[in-house]
A and B are shown apart, each in its own frame.
Chain A
């Protein structure tokens, strides 16, 4: 719940840049990271992003939470690639008759993918830390992303926490009455939980629609306004992309 930009300092240079420009720069850098063959560029991007995060005074707990999943996935990828793919064997050990071998080329492959994952996630994380959610949505609407899709994203962003809380309440109620005491009961309880959540979501949606209609909703969420671009934002972004482009090419 705290992986949001409202916890991050607002006086950082990145926070002041137009969300549309940040989105465009992030898209370009993401493409560079994902198409680069090697460690250097994604590693550099991850490092730059880390510097930005420190500059924005992102609390360590939030930073760790945001990166825990991608780091876990990256480690698993490295392990799988290292142990199960490749031809250049570094070592092999027998465990109860099962031969486990580590491969040099597998390790290189795995590390390449892992650094890409971390680099790409870093870019998205910095974008999220430096931009309020609604500004991001406003930016997406400027890029002609379908309105319905953006509205669904906004509602999902708002109501995911409400549903999460309700899911936790139902889960606790079930657990208190031994709903998860065996696998069979657990599966059955989980089915009931998802069913109840669906019904609650439906009920919420009906009430929310009424609440919106009584405040003038006619099918459009008029929340997005676009200010004119600032030359400074464009210049800084172009310079950043240029420098990164040169490193990417090298």
Chain B
């Protein structure tokens, strides 16, 4: 865990090129239900960004807007500087891919290799390259050796990995993930986040993930956008965002548990903590400092 937390600091993106820029005044569903409004955010190359919000806050809708699936918006979504509505689906989906919350929505071919190869085949690659891409993508998500397996025999976590492999095989540079850790056990959550960190760090994949898992966020993500009732309430690094429990409860979230403990020790028990640590490693160092 320590290493992963340190990795987050080390992996902070160094480039400033904006890949996705969202400026949405409002978006309503066809039945008139308002979904998101007053959203302004940008994602830079190589960033690992989180959209944090409670259920129904508009996270999925925002991802779908960013992916160009919902186009009837009042505003713009720019992909590499071009309005996404002026791009054809092929132009968008060569660069951006959305991973759904339920992998069964996304995996439709009978076997793993057939599903992962679907995108590269559609892109018109020769057979040899398709095989190479499938092999590489499966290796990237630690699923090599599963290519002949039937999809329905995979576990939930494995299915999620195959979903990601399907997009990586197409050479996607930007991944939008809707609750990638939902439904996974604690170890599965860390494995999934470790995989995403590896893709971000080693392959340079820009990642935007929607989540409400506040305990995981500080360990992995560079930047956060807190979404509440369809609009962004706060944004910044986890250290900038997670400052006080009251502010988080306004948006139906909470601090990471370790941060909440230290916050209480500081404010209710008057222990002399400096900044609020967000990870177990940071908290350990702070506690040891006080104990000495």
Chain A residues close to B by CB (< 8 Å): 1, 4, 6, 132-134, 154-155, 157-159, 161-162, 204, 207-208, 210-218, 222-223, 225
Partner of A216, one of B123, B149, B151: B123
Would you call B118 and A223 a contact (CB within 8 A)? yes
What is the bound-complex CA distance between A204 and B92, given in angstroms? 23
Partner of B100, one of A211, A217, A218: A211
* A204 neighbours in B (Cβ, 8 Å): 104-105
Cβ distance A153 to chain B, nearest Cβ, rounded Å:
10
* B106 neighbours in A (Cβ, 8 Å): 207-208, 211
Helix, strand, loop or mixed for chain B's interface? helix
Q: Which residue of B lies closest to A203 (CB)?
A: B105
Determine whether B150 belongs to the interface, using a CB cutoff of 8 Å to chain A: yes
Would you call B149 and A217 a contact (CB within 8 A)? no
* A214 neighbours in B (Cβ, 8 Å): 67, 69, 89, 92-93, 97-98
Would you call B151 and A158 a contact (CB within 8 A)? yes
1/0 contact string of B57-73 vs chain A (CB within 8 Å): 00000000001010000
Q: Which residue of B lies closest to A161 (CB)?
A: B152
What is the bound-complex CA distance between A102 and B153, given in angstroms? 48
Would you call A1 and B111 a contact (CB within 8 A)? no
* B235 neighbours in A (Cβ, 8 Å): none
What is the bound-complex CA distance between A34 and B151, given in angstroms? 35
Partner of B122, one of A4, A157, A210, A218: A218
Cβ distance A160 to chain B, nearest Cβ, rounded Å:
9
Would you call A6 and B90 a contact (CB within 8 A)? no
Cβ distance B143 to chain A, nearest Cβ, rounded Å:
16
Would you call A208 and B105 a contact (CB within 8 A)? yes
Would you call B118 and A162 a contact (CB within 8 A)? no
Helix, strand, loop or mixed for chain A's interface? helix
* B277 neighbours in A (Cβ, 8 Å): none
Known contacts A162-B104, A214-B67; A1 and B152 CB within 8 A of each other: yes
Determine whether B129 belongs to the interface, using a CB cutoff of 8 Å to chain A: no
Total interface residues on B, CB under 8 Å, equals 35
Known contacts A155-B108, A157-B110; A215 and B100 CB within 8 A of each other: no
* A218 neighbours in B (Cβ, 8 Å): 122
Q: Which residue of A lies closest to B152 (CB)?
A: A161
Would you call A207 and B149 a contact (CB within 8 A)? no
Q: Which residue of A lies closest to B166 (CB)?
A: A215
Cβ distance A139 to chain B, nearest Cβ, rounded Å:
14
What is the bound-complex CA distance between A132 and B111, given in angstroms? 10
Cβ distance B98 to chain A, nearest Cβ, rounded Å:
6
Determine whether B11 belongs to the interface, using a CB cutoff of 8 Å to chain A: no
Known contacts A161-B152, A214-B93; A208 and B69 CB within 8 A of each other: no
Taking A207-B105, A210-B98 as given, write out 10 further A-B residue pairs in contact, using a Cβ cutoff of 8 Å, ordered by the A residue number: A1-B153, A6-B150, A158-B108, A158-B151, A204-B105, A211-B98, A211-B100, A211-B108, A215-B93, A222-B121
Would you call B110 and A154 a contact (CB within 8 A)? yes
* A155 neighbours in B (Cβ, 8 Å): 108
Determine whether B119 belongs to the interface, using a CB cutoff of 8 Å to chain A: yes
* CB within 8 Å of A: which B83-116 residues: 89-90, 92-93, 97-98, 100, 102, 104-111, 114
What is the bound-complex CA distance between A225 and B118, given in angstroms? 13
30 A-B residue pairs with CB within 8 Å: A1-B152, A6-B111, A6-B148, A6-B149, A132-B111, A133-B110, A157-B110, A158-B151, A159-B104, A161-B152, A204-B105, A207-B102, A211-B100, A211-B105, A211-B108, A212-B108, A214-B67, A214-B92, A214-B97, A215-B97, A215-B119, A215-B167, A215-B170, A216-B122, A217-B118, A218-B122, A223-B109, A223-B114, A223-B118, A223-B121
Cβ distance A56 to chain B, nearest Cβ, rounded Å:
16
Determine whether B144 belongs to the interface, using a CB cutoff of 8 Å to chain A: no
Cβ distance B102 to chain A, nearest Cβ, rounded Å:
7
* A225 neighbours in B (Cβ, 8 Å): 127
Partner of A134, one of B98, B108, B114: B114
What is the bound-complex CA distance between A154 and B114, given in angstroms? 12
Cβ distance B162 to chain A, nearest Cβ, rounded Å:
12
* B127 neighbours in A (Cβ, 8 Å): 225
